[in-house]
Amino acid sequence: MGEPIRVIERRGETLEERRQRVLERLADAVVHEEQAAERLIQLVALAEDKGLLPMLTALLERGDRVMAHVVDLLARDEYASALQNAIGLAQALGKLDSEVLANLVDGVAEGLADVKQATVADGKPLGIFELLALLKDPNVSYAIRFLLRFLSGMGKALRPPVSPD
């Protein structure tokens, strides 16, 4: 008669089976997130081309020492106020309407391009009749109205609240 079975030996997953299972899971993830995977590869390639990948790798390898140094720097008074200003600026930028801001930046860029192309730099002061003629230009008129509305809104925000007495 045979001996009773006291220990069950479970067959473990071999390294090759595990590798195959992981590769299949990764392939499924890449197919599912194809655009993200392509962007990630492009990002890594750009970081390598620009020399950022070795720098980032070294930074991560020495992460604890780098973070300790950064915290020491930020604890100084001169950097603490700069950090507070940066946080305030980021909060202020978050409040701005991105479409209006994009239009404003485009307008500034176009205005600078027009100034660059202007060849009338004779040094004469602007006369009253030239100014009145410029005010009839719809683009100049629109820009002046924009600036006046901007100044009005800024004045509302800057004016101290009036206490009702």
DSSP 51-108: THHHHHHHHHHTHHHHHHHHHHHHTSHHHHHHHHHHHHHHHHHHHS-HHHHHHHHHHH
What is the pTM assigned to this prediction? 0.42
Please state the domain extents for the chain.
15-120
Task: Give per-residue pLDDT as tens, 30-70.
Answer: 899 899 889 999 998 998 898 888 888 888 888 888 888 88
Write down the pLDDT at residue 136. 92
CB contact set of 140 (below 8 Å; sequence gap of 6+): 134
* Element spanning 131, H or E: helix 128-136
Gap between the Cα atoms of 40 and 145, Å rounded:
46
CB contact set of 59 (below 8 Å; sequence gap of 6+): 66
Amino acid letter, 8: I
